[in-house]
Amino acid sequence: MEQFVPAYLEAAGRFLGNRIAPERLIRELLRATRIMAANRGDGATNEEVFAATFYPAVGVDRAELEPLFMRFYSEEFPGLRRFTQAVPEAPKLVRWAFECGLKVVVATNPLFPRTAIEQRLDWAGVGVDAHPYALVTTYENMHASKENPAYYREILDRIGCSPEACLMVGDDWVWDMENASKLGIRGWWVAPEDEPRPAESGSVFGQGTLADLWRLILAGNRDPQTLARSAD
């Protein structure tokens, strides 16, 4: 993301530069995103919060500017794929989860429109056309971000699962591990095995790369409940 986000902002500023000065566009994009990320889950969608902040700030009607953004995601956003790298174990883990009959959620921070998230999933080899996800979180369908545990509460409500029946696999300690654990969701922290945990958490039963998680599954722990117990 340290490479991807600056490239994304630069591309957006360049594409829309004949309508809004790139410096102003980027400044207001970041400000609106920060406000959207603070959404508390009890009112407007993230998209609505973003729109109410961004379009008045740049002085352009949403009806005029939003189609240009959609063109950007169609024409320019695909070129950002060069700043990403697929993880070979990701498609294997997703297929395994479906083979086990699990409900699978793409619990990515919902600060992008669905088209952007679907493209990124395609780049990773786990596209929505190939997998019947129970939910893909986007800024159109969510009312909070990962900064607020309400994000995970909304997911649980949407898919009809108890927190004890869920596993969150993610690489951000606060957003993916701590905030999910506040609802009782256990986690696998995607981080090197020797990386110190910022805080002790009994809800994090495993730590390592996706390759490490896949090796654990291949070792014979193919049932999700067995996998969780073996990692304690």
Q: What are phi and psi of 186, to 5 degrees?
A: -80, 160
Residue 195 to residue 203: CA distance in whole angstroms: 17
41 vs 150: CA distance, rounded Å: 6
Closest CA to 113 of 138, 134, 136: 138
pLDDT tens sequence for the chain (232 residues): 889 999 999 999 999 999 999 999 999 999 999 999 999 999 999 999 999 999 999 999 999 999 999 999 999 999 999 999 999 999 999 999 999 999 999 999 999 999 999 999 999 999 999 999 999 999 999 999 999 999 999 999 999 999 999 999 999 999 999 999 999 999 999 999 999 999 887 789 899 999 999 998 888 765 655 665 554 4
**Do 139 and 45 meet the contact criterion of CB atoms below 8 Å apart?**
yes
Q: Backbone dihedral region of 64: left (phi > 0), alpha (psi from -120 to 50 degrees) or beta?
A: alpha
Q: What is the pTM of this model?
A: 0.92
**What is the sign, positive or negative, of the torsion defined by CA atoms of 169, 170, 171, 176?**
negative
Phi, psi (5° rounding) for residue 198?
-60, -25
The closest alpha carbon to 155, from 143, 172, 173, belongs to: 143
Pick the closest to residue 138 from 119, 160, 164 (CA basis). 119
Burial class (CB in 10 A: 0-12, 13-18, 19+), 130: middle
Residue 231 and residue 193 in contact, taking contact as beta carbons nearer than 8 Å: no
Q: What pLDDT is recorded for position 221?
A: 61
Polymer length of the chain: 232
